[in-house]
Structure 1
């Protein structure tokens, strides 16, 4: 039985999705559960798995197409199912001069059109024919054609070949007597579609993806409407660095990352500063009841912000486990709406790229975002002298419509205190 492929809904309010690319070309075999396509929304890129095994056909959406949620964009034919099933579902009219009516094609689709192409001499098998009749499937695959001879081809195969400008004589048929079936034509386009894909060329204008466009619009609106102010503090991470090294030496299966310690410290501190865990709305300042920490994850196609829900209620170990799982899902494009919706505060860490410090743009409608730099050795005052310590710079961006500088400063001080005492 054929399985329809539709544009999935990946968000509560999502109306359309952008097809980034097909992982399988039309005519290729697919296995249930393997990656079939990548779909992009304004918040994430998601890899969609094949819902059934069979042959991908009747593809109506191309890379970059924006498709309404629920629209059919392809069909997977079950193993052994004839390709005319897809042709019957294709609303496009047959090309003029094909010599076969839609009704005739439908009747043949119910019978054995693909299994038994029209015999020679009926005037509808255009092209050439084999030099000799093959006696086995293997011989059929190796069938050759010569100029002036006719070719056996099903009506559906001829229609698809004509639409796509494919010379039937260049194909090897897999049907009876070496006949060319629709699947053979579709399969011939698969390798061609894949070979045409490649990296953008220098000087080429690259079209914005839906995610990149929406992120740009949101960040522009944030800078234009939210009066940002910025605060920075240096944090001594020597104790946490030492603790992580000890866990690594003990071969612990899960060692919390530097970012995990920061996420946990922010979540616990937000309980004491509810105005930092808020949003600006037309009705006023909304204080969130839950503390859901978003962590920015950079991907090739853009930035995604998976969310750790009720982070203030999690132990460091549980938070680290959730953080690792979300990052892996983001990298594998397995995030779904529950994974990235509902954030109340965001942490962006560029320390892994060797960045010492930076300021981030607030993720609207949230109140603030914390930018994290790298942990690096610095000579700093320590006790009554100086010492080399593992230092890190935190930079807080906050919305002045919601909080004042003093509240934000006390919040940042408390995050710093928690981090410096985490390993004490």
Structure 2
């Protein structure tokens, strides 16, 4: 009996949620066949069969979570069960391959209308039948998706797995409507994983938050000239990267009771998704020009919301930036993204009246909240970093001209 165990998909994740099984108990599978799709708080992965045989038991059902090393299913490898052609990748590929005689591709996923004799002349629309690869049909069935209502975005209008998953994910407002005030939402799956990591972050580190205002009047003017080419997050990230270069003790991680400082500045950016907060990462952010960084952040945010971040795009961050500037929030207490040393929270820019040479003037100010792990950084060094960052933001030429494109 072969045990299908949840592998360690990435160093910073110990738990995954089972999204969908591509097989059922009793199905025959061959080595390499798709078995199950699992999701961490950061990405979606598919697990293939490592042995041929028959699925004896599915231990962790769809919607349940498992930790690394736990058994997801059992495969009976004794004997030589006849492979189920429905489950073979070869069969699916063959069905999608071009016809040797005509050079055309069979319309495996074509939506056709079947009209029975009873329906002829009634004026009623006949039910639609969708021809689709068995694996995708099972995915739709497991996710309770009506294939006739799915618009294909694949080649030749074919329905893809992403189309089915998108159809299974109702908008946030629909989800909110289904939650009764007295109802209970299980703290499990992705939400549970995020909750556990945040609790561990607070329990296993000594977190200290320092706050300060930055006068960004000149930066606002610079942003207006740049227009949509560079977003606020990208501008602030360039200032953060330069400040980290001058204060390397803020850029790193704590692992195995050791402070590991890094030369490269891999900035993490908190992205709000329907499944919860996810962190997208731009490797070596200090080397990326502001406009390019902005485009990259837009791309990563889209991937994060679609659960499509690659491993390099969701791990290895050395410092994280999180923003609530789009809301009426000034200062807050950001929680460190373990195993990092620090995280910067950005609030909403607001008008501020100051007295200059006897005259009242309107300035723009930005609230900053810096949380550090006191085990690695004391209050004074953290304050010096924050002071450096504020100086850069108040004089944008100091970091924008240095990173001219």
TM-score (norm 1): 0.59
Conserved 8 A contact 1:19-1:66: yes
**Following the alignment from structure 2 to structure 1, what is the Cα–Cα distance between the partners of residues 265 and 251?**
7
Q: 1:141 to 1:316 in 2, by over 3 A?
A: farther
**Following the alignment from structure 2 to structure 1, what is the Cα–Cα distance between the partners of residues 370 and 12?**
31
**Following the alignment from structure 2 to structure 1, what is the Cα–Cα distance between the partners of residues 220 and 37?**
38
Conserved 8 A contact 1:47-1:334: no
Task: Tell me the SS of whatever aligns to 1:193.
Answer: coil
Pick which of 382-391 and 325-334 moved more: 382-391
Who is 1:354 aligned against? Answer: 328
- Cα drift, residue 12 of structure 1: 5.7
1:379 correspondence with 2:392: no
Task: Tell me the SS of whatever aligns to 1:342.
Answer: coil
- Cα drift, residue 204 of structure 1: 2.7
Who is 2:97 aligned against? Answer: none
**Following the alignment from structure 1 to structure 2, what is the Cα–Cα distance between the partners of residues 207 and 8?**
24
Matches within 5 A, 1:57-76: 63-66=62-65
Who is 1:157 aligned against? Answer: none
Who is 1:298 aligned against? Answer: 272
- Cα drift, residue 345 of structure 1: 0.5
Who is 1:44 aligned against? Answer: 42
**Following the alignment from structure 1 to structure 2, what is the Cα–Cα distance between the partners of residues 282 and 192?**
41
- Cα drift, residue 38 of structure 1: 7.3
Who is 1:18 aligned against? Answer: 17
**Following the alignment from structure 1 to structure 2, what is the Cα–Cα distance between the partners of residues 323 and 278?**
21
**Following the alignment from structure 2 to structure 1, what is the Cα–Cα distance between the partners of residues 362 and 272?**
31
**Following the alignment from structure 1 to structure 2, what is the Cα–Cα distance between the partners of residues 404 and 139?**
78
Who is 1:324 aligned against? Answer: 298
Spell out, residue by residue over 1:125-173, the C-alpha distance to the aligned partner (whole angstroms, 9 max, x if none). Answer: xxxxxxxxxxxx7447969xxxxxxxxxxxxxxxxxxxxxxxxxxxx9x
- Cα drift, residue 268 of structure 1: 1.1
**Following the alignment from structure 1 to structure 2, what is the Cα–Cα distance between the partners of residues 379 and 141?**
78
**Following the alignment from structure 2 to structure 1, what is the Cα–Cα distance between the partners of residues 354 and 307?**
42
Which structure has the bigger radius of gyration?
Answer: 1
- Cα drift, residue 192 of structure 1: 10
Residue 207 (structure 2) aligned to one of 228, 231, 236: 228
Residue 216 (structure 1) aligned to one of 172, 185, 195: 195
Who is 2:390 aligned against? Answer: 416
Q: 1:379 to 1:39 in 2, by over 3 A?
A: farther
Q: 1:329 to 1:141 in 2, by over 3 A?
A: farther
1:204 correspondence with 2:183: yes
**Following the alignment from structure 1 to structure 2, what is the Cα–Cα distance between the partners of residues 191 and 45?**
20
Q: 1:15 to 1:293 in 2, by over 3 A?
A: closer
- What are the ranges of 5 or more consecutive residues in structure 1 without an aligned counterpart? 1-5, 24-36, 49-59, 74-82, 90-136, 144-171, 175-182, 249-253
Who is 1:335 aligned against? Answer: 309
**Following the alignment from structure 2 to structure 1, what is the Cα–Cα distance between the partners of residues 62 and 318?**
33
- Cα drift, residue 302 of structure 1: 0.7
Residue 403 (structure 1) aligned to one of 377, 396, 403: 377
1:275 correspondence with 2:256: no
- Cα drift, residue 194 of structure 1: 4.0
Conserved 8 A contact 1:46-1:336: no
Conserved 8 A contact 1:297-1:303: yes
- What are the ranges of 5 or more consecutive residues in structure 2 without an aligned counterpart? 23-35, 47-57, 75-82, 90-113, 121-126, 147-167, 399-405
Conserved 8 A contact 1:295-1:306: yes
Spell out, residue by residue over 1:298-330, the C-alpha distance to the aligned partner (whole angstroms, 9 max, x if none). Answer: 112111011111111222222222222111211
Task: Tell me the SS of whatever aligns to 2:246.
Answer: coil
RMSD between aligned alpha carbons? 4.5
Spell out, residue by residue over 1:257-312, the C-alpha distance to the aligned partner (whole angstroms, 9 max, x if none). Answer: 11111111111111111111122333432212321110111112111011111111
**Following the alignment from structure 2 to structure 1, what is the Cα–Cα distance between the partners of residues 285 and 118?**
60
Task: Tell me the SS of whatever aligns to 1:271.
Answer: helix
**Following the alignment from structure 2 to structure 1, what is the Cα–Cα distance between the partners of residues 232 and 226?**
13
Who is 2:85 aligned against? Answer: 85
Residue 230 (structure 2) aligned to one of 256, 264, 267: 256
- Cα drift, residue 370 of structure 1: 0.6
**Following the alignment from structure 1 to structure 2, what is the Cα–Cα distance between the partners of residues 71 and 141?**
47
**Following the alignment from structure 2 to structure 1, what is the Cα–Cα distance between the partners of residues 63 and 303?**
23
Task: Tell me the SS of whatever aligns to 2:382.
Answer: helix
- Cα drift, residue 63 of structure 1: 3.7
- Cα drift, residue 21 of structure 1: 6.0
